[in-house]
Amino acid sequence: MEDLQQMYFIGLMVGAAITVVYILLSDLLEPVFGFLDGILNPVLILSFLTFFCASGYLLEFLPISSFVIILISMGISLLLVTLLNVFVLIPLSNAEATLGYTEEDLRGRMAKVIISIPEDGFGEIMITDHSGHISRTAKSFEETSIASGEEVIVIDIKDGVLYVAIQEKDLLDS
């Protein structure tokens, strides 16, 4: 009985440590465990091992047969891993909150010129976004100079350069 408790305890410590390390280094370890991605999430496998060993360790204090303890521990682990997957991992994977944006997202956006744009040269604009400020290289779409501080609209994007035009005040009023 004590040998099983000791095995459960060692499994608990090892499983918990590997789970924490995997969560912290998951981006680096993705190529190693990438083959499991379509089958099972490594976090679920490691969590199952941790929950199994934890419940087995605790149940060994009760006067129950070791075989029954293994079955109960498996049931508890399956339940907890299912709850972890349904209520934590799936919502996190669907959320995928990112501060990233594509160039297409910038088309039609309003911006402010922060470095003047000469007639046939480049300047810089700043787009205020819900996630912060985006500064990008800009060129005048109509090949006219645009002074610093002007409000512009992004018309087109070519080779990473945003082509902008001065925002017409008359269009906004109507």
User: Are 36 and 77 in the same domain?
Assistant: yes
pTM of the model: 0.55
Is residue 174 one of the residues assigned to a domain? no
> Which of 95, 121, 138 is where one domain is finished?
95
User: Are 11 and 74 in the same domain?
Assistant: yes
Show Cβ contacts of residue 119 under 8 Å, excluding neighbours closer than 6 positions.
140, 143, 144, 145
Write out pLDDT tens, residues 38-86: 567 788 888 999 999 999 999 999 999 999 999 999 999 999 999 998 9
Q: Which domain holds residue 71?
A: 2-95
Looking up residue 154, the CATH number of its domain turns out to be: 2.40.50.140
User: Are 111 and 149 in the same domain?
Assistant: yes
